[in-house]
Amino acid sequence: MEIGIGSGLHYIGAGLAIGLAALGGSIGIGMIGSKAVESIARQPEQTSNIRSNMIIGIAFVETAILYALVISFMILNAAK
């Protein structure tokens, strides 16, 4: 099976889609964790509220990364 330039660009696009999403997501999760620890250090009595909000925020970021993974699979499927 021969891979043409169009198919090769599909592979590059799929790699960029998941790569950039993972990069942005990891930066976002790092910032969420950093700010949560900073907030807990300032107000230790609010630890449970801060922790639950942090977990919800991380879940939203992970959902966006999973959507990018699905999109990259769709791009790869279109290459065939």
pLDDT at 71: 93
pLDDT tens readout for residues 46-59: 999 999 999 999 99
Would you tell me how many other CB atoms lie within 10 Å of the CB of residue 30?
A: 10
Greater confidence (1 vs 37) lies with: 37
Question: Taking 70 as the threshold, does the pLDDT of residue 4 lie above it?
Answer: no
CA 33 to CA 54: how far, in whole Å? 7
CA 33 to CA 27: how far, in whole Å? 10
Question: Taking 90 as the threshold, does the pLDDT of residue 1 lie above it?
Answer: no
Q: Please report, for the chain, the start and end positions of each structural domain, with discontinuous segments joined by +.
A: 8-78
pTM assigned to the model: 0.81
Class of domain 8-78: mainly alpha
